[in-house]
Structure 1
C-alpha cells in the first residue's frame, strides 16, 4: 500500500528584481513510496532535493501538483495542511536539539498532550531503541555527534509519525561513523516499520540506507529505482555518469557487436543502446559506459593500459589506466596485484551489463 504520493510537483522561489515571477527549482516530479519503504533523494547540490523534502513537511508551498499521505491530501496549489498536523517527523542536519533541555526532555518535547507516565514510557522505549537509555539525564553538549543524532531520531520517532524525513542527517559526522550510523538508523526504521525519505549527496550512504533511490538533477527526477538498477540499468546518460564511477569509451556498432578500443563487445543492440535509432544499413557511433568492475587483468590481451594513478583500498586497488588513444579508464583489481606508475597492464573488458548511448557531438 502506498504511503506517499507526489503528483506533478513543482516548487519555486521568487526571482530577485522580478515581480510576480518565480524560478522553479522542482518541476513535474512524480513518485510513490510504499508503506515501510526507506527512500533517498540523491543528486548534486542545488538539484532541488531539499526543496522536495521541505514541501512534503509543509515548510514550502507548491506552484503545481499535489502531495498525498495515506490517501489524505496534504497540499495542492490552493490549500495545505499545517506542518504540525501532517504526522510527519523530521531529523535535521544540525540535530536541532534544545541545548537547555536534557536528553529525556528533548525526546518528550512534542508529547505535552500525554500524561507524565505516558511520556516517560515512550521516552524509555525510544532511548532503548537508539541505545541511549543510560544518558537520559545528560544535556546535548555532553554528547558526541553520533549520540546527538540518535537523540534527534528518538525525538522524531516518539510522536509515532506516519512518515519520517531526514535532511542530510549524517553530514556533520566523520566518514566511518556516517556509514555505521546510517546502517543503525536503517535497522531501527525497519524494526519499527517506519516509512522514511532521506536527502543526501553521498552515494555510498544512499546505497547503504535506502530500498529505493531517486536521482535528481535540475529539479527533475531522472530515475526512481533500486540501487542495483541505478548502477546496472540507468535510464539516462546523466544517471549512468552520476551513479558510481565510470568513463564513456567511444564505440561503433557493427551488426551484433560494438567495436571499441578494448576490442569487440558482443551485444543485443536493441537493448544495449539508448537514446538512439539504429539502422541496419548504417554504422552507429556510441559511447559505452565502462565501470571499474568491467575491466579485467587479461594476460592474453594485446590491449594494454599505462598505470597513471592508483588508490590502495585494502581489499582492492583502484587504478587509473591510460589507453593508447589517451583515454583514461578506472579499474578495480585485487590488492595482491600491485603495479607501479608507468607500468603497462594487459587488459580487456567483461561487460555483465552493457550500457551505451548515442555518441555525443560538440
Structure 2
C-alpha cells in the first residue's frame, strides 16, 4: 500500500444532521440589518430571540404596501359596482330594444292579416258610397222630371228644384270621380307604403336591438376585464404584503427549540459557518437564503468535519485517526471521505469521535485531525 505522511487536517465539531435550523429566506427583497446577536455557544430557550434586527426599512415597505392594498381593494369594489350597474343597464336596454322590435313586428302582422283588408274595403266603400249618392240623385231627378211632365201647369219653383237637382247630380258625379281617384291612389300608395313603412320600422328596430346588444356586451366585457385586472393586482399586492409580514415575523429570529446556538448550518451535506459568521454582528446585512444558525439539542451526537491539506491523500472510510480537542486526544473513525473536491476546491472528510458526546460537547469548537502514517 502507498505510504501516508503524517498530516494535520483542521476541523470543527458539528452536530449530526438534522438539527433545528434558523434560516433567512425572505420572500421579498428587504434590507435586514443585525443590531445584536447572541454569542455562539449560548444556551437558548424555545421562542427566545437569538438576534435583534433593524426593521425600519421593512416596516416602511409594509406600511406602503398596506396602503396600496387598501387602494386596490377600493378599486375592486368600485369596479364590481360599475359592472353590476352596467349589466343592469344592458339588460334594461336590451329589453327595451327587443320590446320595440316585437311591437313593430306585431304592427306589421296586424296590418297584413287585418288592417290592410279593412283599408282596401274602406277605399272600395268610398267609391261605392259616391256611386250610391250619384244613383240617389239621378233617381230623384228622374222622378221629379216624370212628375212635372204629368203636371200640365209648370211652375217656376219646379224649374228651380230641377236645376238644383241637376247641379247636385253633377256634383255627385264629380264626387264619384274623386272617390275613384282617391281610392286608386290609396291602394297604390298609401296602403302599400304604410306596409313598407311598418317593415322598415321592423328593420330599424332589429338593427337597433343588435346594436344595443353588441354595444353593451362589449361594455360589460370591458368592465369585467378591468375588474379581473384589478382583482389580480389586489391579490398580488395582498400576497406581497403577506410575504413582507412573514419576512418580518421570520426576522425576529426566534429559536425553534431549547439548545445550544451555533452560527451557520448544513447546506446540503456540508456545514457552512464562516461566511454567515461575518454577517452575524452589529450592522451586518443578511442575504436571502442565508442559513444563519442551528440550535443543537444538549444530547446531540457530534461529528467532525475536516478539510484535508492539498498534499494529503484522501483516507478511506473506516481509517482510524487521532482527534485533538483542546487538551484531549481521542480516537476517531473516518465515516465519509470523497476524493472529489467541493466547489471551493477543498476536500472534506467526516470523522466520528470514539467518545461519549457529553465529554466533548462543544458544537462549533475547532479541532485538529491527525492522520498518522500508514503502510502495508
Higher percent of residues as strand: 1
Higher-Rg structure is 2
Which structure has more RCO (C-alpha within 8 Å, separation ≥ 6)? 2
Task: Using structure 2 for the length normalisation, give the TM-score.
Answer: 0.22
Higher percent of residues as helix: 2
Task: Using structure 1 for the length normalisation, give the TM-score.
Answer: 0.23
